[in-house]
Amino acid sequence: MNFAAPLLLSLKLSSVTTLLLLVLGVPFAYWLVFTRFRWKFLVESVVALPLVLPPTVLGFYLLMIIGGNSFIGQWYESIFNKPLAFSFQGLVLGSFLYSLPFAVQPIQTAFSSVDKKLLEASWSLGRSNVYTFFRVILPLSRHGIITGCVLSFAHTLGEFGVILMIGGNIPGVTRVASVAIYDEVQSLNYGSANMYAAILLSFSFIILAAVYFINRRFVRTL
Amino acid sequence: MAFDIPRGKITALFGPSGAGKSSVLRLISGLEMAEDGFISNGNETWFDKAKGINLHPQQRSVGFVFQDYALFPHMTVERNVAYGIKEKWRIKEIKDLIDIAGLSGYERHYPAQLSGGQKQRVSLIRAIARKPDILLLDEPFSALDWQTRIQLQEDVKNIIKQFNVTTMYVTHDVSEVYKLANNVIVMESGKEVKRGTPEEVFLGKRLSTRVQVTGKVVGIEHDSIMASVTILHADQFFKTLIDTEELKSLNLRIGDDVVVGVKSSDVILFKI
């Protein structure tokens, strides 16, 4: 068996998920901060659910929603000619939802901590909301965005329950490093389980240390 | 309340805090929406409740100077000043503006590297740079110490004069009104109570040849006929002599609050 394949798959899944979260999470966080939608608290609760929910619960419902017998699952299969569950794309969807609060919450906090006066200054200087976003809000929120990205990446890397539920354990397709550890232990291969575990541990530690280091530097320079 | 702001003049909105002065500026600039009424700039309607018109702040030609400067912390002085300028060819005017504000050499500095007075000057020229029809200043000097304030009041007056921009500014300092404004509107709890030139509004019948200050008695020394009383006013001590009989009748003790009246016929003035 290829030892590196699950690790590479984990990295690929984390990268794709993080990119997707960045592209969709930034406008979503902006909406959460500035909307006057009265049911916003419900949306926020749904986003935060993965923080408290057992991954198996999320995985189970996702499987119900995207599985071969579901409407979405059948619709996907009719268009792409392959099932969504037990595929890499399915894993991306699951990871996206599972890591959503890790990306959205730091970005949301950063957006809302930008001094309202600066936005008012920008508007009163004749600048649009879009210009204000790119020139004022985004640069002043960069630490939140970096934190969101790194946490999503690290969180996806360590994901296990959701993946096992909606992706199973298909080598080269859905068998990521965290699942591989479980698999190796089941086969009593403690040596290679230890290798995967040590690599994930070091990687997560390095990522978190980088986040704290970057945040400290940004606090100093602002 | 209803008022017109004369073009090219400086109008002060004066009143105690909580009188609604800042709200008036925020309504004019569109940062807040009025419940009723209308606001127009010449022939252009900015807000009209009856007609359902409410222009965004971006669409109103205003310059807003905030009390706490609201400079963009991640941009240099130069970039802050250029922020509202949309025409590329006008970029070279930035240097002139920075010169006028006495900030040459600080173009590449960030707001965190400037003093309060410098920050407020950047904020002022940033607002003027977009050539607004009306300049709004919300207690622009209140965050500064008095020396900086006096200097900056002078600078602001000159800069506004130079650009001949219609200005409305909020203050609760009478001397500031005198120093800067052509007209003043006095507000109390959301309503206009008086308007006119500073002289008309503040002097009226209150002009007096006596100066009165309040102070606290901190020392009394008795003599046979006269007593010497030491009084603390703000952070200044002074001594005054009064008749022992008068002192008795006043029943003055250390710690009492007193009013000291002086006839202003023989007063020495110093410029600070």
Any chain B CB within 8 A of the CB of A40?
no
| The predicted structure's pLDDT at residue B87 | 83
| The predicted structure's pLDDT at residue B260 | 84
Chain A: residue whose CA lies nearest to B125: A125
Is there a contact between B72 and A136 if contact means CB atoms under 8 Å apart?
Answer: yes
Is there a contact between A135 and B83 if contact means CB atoms under 8 Å apart?
Answer: yes
User: What's the ipTM?
Assistant: 0.80
| The predicted structure's pLDDT at residue B234 | 82
Chain B: residue whose CA lies nearest to A115: B70
Yes or no: say if B229 and B220 are a contact pair by the CB < 8 Å rule. Answer: yes
Number of Cβ within 10 Å of residue B103's Cβ equals: 19
Yes or no: say if A31 and A129 are a contact pair by the CB < 8 Å rule. Answer: no
Eight-class DSSP state of A134? I
pLDDT digits (tens, 9 = 90+) for B74-108: 999 999 999 999 888 888 889 999 998 899 999 99
- Amino acid sitting at position B125: I
Is there a contact between B72 and A124 if contact means CB atoms under 8 Å apart?
Answer: no
Chain B: residue whose CA lies nearest to A116: B70
| The predicted structure's pLDDT at residue B17 | 82
| The predicted structure's pLDDT at residue A132 | 96
For residue A216, is pLDDT > 80? no
Is there a contact between A127 and B66 if contact means CB atoms under 8 Å apart?
Answer: no
Q: How far apart are CA B186 and CA A186, in angstroms?
A: 82
Is there a contact between B64 and A120 if contact means CB atoms under 8 Å apart?
Answer: yes
Highest mean pLDDT among A203-212, B33-42, B56-65, B206-215: B56-65
- Amino acid sitting at position A111: F
For residue B117, is pLDDT > 70? yes
Is there a contact between A140 and B73 if contact means CB atoms under 8 Å apart?
Answer: yes
Nearest to A111, CA basis, from A25, A217, A218: A25
What phi and psi, each to the nearest 5 degrees, are found at residue A80?
A: -100, -5
> How far apart are the CA of A193 and the nearest CA of chain B, in angstroms?
47
| The predicted structure's pLDDT at residue B184 | 93
> How far apart are the CA of B25 and the nearest CA of chain A, in angstroms?
12
> How far apart are the CA of A138 and the nearest CA of chain B, in angstroms?
11
| The predicted structure's pLDDT at residue B161 | 87
Chain A: residue whose CA lies nearest to B127: A125
**3 state DSSP class of B102:** coil
Model confidence band, residue A1 (pLDDT cutoffs 50, 70, 90): low
Model confidence band, residue B35 (pLDDT cutoffs 50, 70, 90): confident
Is there a contact between B70 and A117 if contact means CB atoms under 8 Å apart?
Answer: yes
| The predicted structure's pLDDT at residue B191 | 85
Residue in A118, A125, A136 closest to B84 by CB: A125
Is there a contact between A118 and B72 if contact means CB atoms under 8 Å apart?
Answer: yes
What average pLDDT does the segment A188-192 reach?
A: 92
pLDDT digits (tens, 9 = 90+) for A150-176: 999 999 998 998 999 998 888 888 889
pLDDT digits (tens, 9 = 90+) for B13-25: 998 888 888 899 9
pLDDT digits (tens, 9 = 90+) for A82-97: 888 889 999 999 999 9
| The predicted structure's pLDDT at residue A32 | 95
Cα–Cα distances (Å) from B49 to B21, B34, B117, in that order, read: 21, 8, 39
Which of B55, B58, B81 to mutate: most A Cβ within 10 Å? B58
Eight-class DSSP state of B258? E
> How far apart are the CA of B57 and the nearest CA of chain A, in angstroms?
5
| The predicted structure's pLDDT at residue B241 | 87
